[in-house]
Amino acid sequence: MKLTLRIWRQRNADADGAMSTYEVDGVSADMSFLEMLDTLNEDLILQGEDPVAFDHDCREGICGACSLVINGDAHGPERTTTCQLHMRSFHDGDTIDIEPWRAAAFPLVKDLVVDRSAFDRIIQAGGYVTAPTGAAPEAHATPVPKPDADFAFEHAECIGCGACVAACPNGAAMLFTSAKINHLNTLPQGAPERETRVLDMVAKMDEEGFGGCTLAGECATACPKGIPLVSITGMNKEWLRATRKAGGR
Amino acid sequence: MARTVWDSSVGKKTVMAVSGLIMLLYLVVHMIGNLKIFFGPGEFNHYAHWLRTVGEPFMHYEWTLWLIRVVLVVAVVAHATSAYQLSRRDLRARPDKYVHRKARTSYATRTMRWGGTILALFIVWHLLDLTTGTVHSGGFQPGHPYQNVVDTFSTWYGDVIYIVAMLALGLHIRHGFWSAAQTLGVGDRARDRALKTVANILALLLTAGFLAVPVAVMTGVVS
């Protein structure tokens, strides 16, 4: 396969960026999208050029490090992470546009790399449980009804990649935050911080400069882990409950 | 608590949802009232007069009407202010656009902001036209709403403004009603289809019901 890539190149946060065009040849359909970029970078290094910077880590679709908006879709045309996207999803002669996540709360570092530490700060605001440390507790000590366990697990699948923010026309982090809140607020282990968690995480989300939800639904379409849009509804419900209970603190 | 609600993006959406539902409830009543025009000037004008005497003798003449007007003004101002502030936040949160753009959201979702602006302008025109009579075509006669309505819809611009606004209203309700349910946390997987259906039915009924009046005047059914 021979492909034309149009890639966002930007030296650093302060520099001006632009789309640059590259040709890659000998791309196999079995390559992952990141392997295809590795090939491009090898060529660029041999030519003495600056390789394209992009985030990646496990390349197994479980860590949430990879990103990339490919032809306008966060993580590209398949519903998976970029590392699990394979070149068989493209055709010989295609032109592929590759851009970084775009959001004010995700400042650009270089080329396709953005700083997603705003997510870490949302987690620090309440994405944890107060659990005693030490030996693992007996599994049956805290019973969890099966539907609750399933619901919590569905939301626990979030890998924090930020595709929801990248896809959202408002650069909102509602789906990410709601996944974390629904996950922990459904389980008995998360109950002690049920109210403070949702109030603090939503407040932090606003403070970090993420947009609000207009229920466009793009986040849930882009999510490689299939976090549903109703997750946001669940967070709104929890937020209203906590606000009533806490009287606004 | 009011501070927490107003300062939070989620809280401000709640304000939008509640104020939107208040206006929606009013619109249903308003639309049903409008349909009385099909039963002749007597019934329509009598209905309009009754709106001023509702609640008598407990309420004085026009008290109920003014109470409704105050609630509506508060709802409109709250809805528009939160919409403006939330939109500012949204635009700030996504300063750089993608080079490769895709429009995937529905037309109703994408037109919420412009549709809302059109509706706000329409409300101003509508009040100046049929409540105060300031911009009314022909001689505005207080207490004779039937004739006033016929006069308005006998002008081409009266019809165009009204039809555009009602189409915008239908789209606004289609996305707005369902969104309000999500914001208030009452939507879930089981109810999602039902909520969307109710939103579509409300949007269709209100648009059709409101449009029936100008169409009737244009075709000469009401004159």
Q: ipTM of this model?
A: 0.92
Taking the CB of residue B219, how many other CB atoms lie within 10 A of it?
Answer: 9
Residue linked to tokens 């985030």: A55
pLDDT at A247: 66
Write the CA distances from A221 to A77, A217, A228, B148, B149, integer angstroms: 11, 7, 8, 49, 46
With cut-offs at 50, 70 and 90, classify the pLDDT of residue B168.
Answer: very high
Is-contact B20 B79, C-beta < 8 A? Answer: yes
- State which residue of chain A sits closest to B12, comparing Cα positions: A212
pLDDT at B164: 97
Please give the structure tokens belonging to residue A135: 């030996």
Is-contact A197 B80, C-beta < 8 A? Answer: no
Q: Indicate if the pLDDT at residue A249 is higher than 70.
A: no
Is-contact A97 A6, C-beta < 8 A? Answer: yes
B42-78: pLDDT as tens digits: 999 999 999 999 999 999 999 999 999 999 999 999 9
A168-184: pLDDT as tens digits: 999 999 999 999 999 99
Distance from CA of B190 to the nearest CA of A (A): 10
Domain architecture of chain B: domains with CATH: 9-94+104-219 (1.20.1300.10)
With cut-offs at 50, 70 and 90, classify the pLDDT of residue B104.
Answer: confident
Taking the CB of residue A48, how many other CB atoms lie within 10 A of it?
Answer: 6
What share of chain B in percent tops pLDDT 90?
A: 88
Domain architecture of chain A: domains with CATH: 3-109 (3.10.20.30), 116-246 (1.10.1060.10)
pLDDT at A139: 80
Please give the structure tokens belonging to residue A35: 């392997």
Amino acid at B203: A
Q: Shortest CA distance to B164 belongs to which of B117, B131, B132?
A: B117
Average pLDDT over chain A reads 95
Taking the CB of residue A160, how many other CB atoms lie within 10 A of it?
Answer: 20
With cut-offs at 50, 70 and 90, classify the pLDDT of residue B134.
Answer: very high
A105 touches chain B (CB under 8 A): yes
Please give the structure tokens belonging to residue B73: 């003004």
Q: Indicate if the pLDDT at residue A167 is higher than 70.
A: yes
- State which residue of chain A sits closest to B181, comparing Cα positions: A233
B10, B99, B101: residue with CB nearest A236: B10
A233 touches chain B (CB under 8 A): yes
Q: Shortest CA distance to B180 belongs to which of B1, B29, B20?
A: B20
Element (H, E) at B205: helix B189-219
Distance CA B130, CA B136 (A): 7
Residues 6+ apart with CB under 8 A from A152: A144, A182, A183, A184, A186, A187
From the candidates B94, B111, B188, which should be mutated to test the interface with A, based on the most A CB atoms within 10 A? B94
pLDDT at A126: 96
Distance CA B223, CA B216 (A): 8
B90, B185, B189: residue with CB nearest A214: B90
Does B185 contact A240 at a Cβ distance shorter than 8 Å?
Answer: yes
Distance CA A34, CA A59 (A): 8
> Nearest 5°: phi and psi at A52?
-75, 125
Residues 6+ apart with CB under 8 A from A177: A122, A201, A202, A205, A235
Strand partners, A172: A211
CA angle A236, A239, A244 (to 5 degrees): 125
Is-contact A186 A148, C-beta < 8 A? Answer: yes
Please give the structure tokens belonging to residue B94: 């996504």
Instruction: List, in sequence order, every beta strand (DSSP E) within chain A.
Output: 3-9, 18-24, 69-70, 73-74, 95-99, 108-110, 113-114
Average pLDDT of B209-215? 97
Is-contact B150 B220, C-beta < 8 A? Answer: no
Distance CA A70, CA A207 (A): 29
Distance CA A152, CA A150 (A): 6
Is-contact A46 A1, C-beta < 8 A? Answer: no
A9 touches chain B (CB under 8 A): no
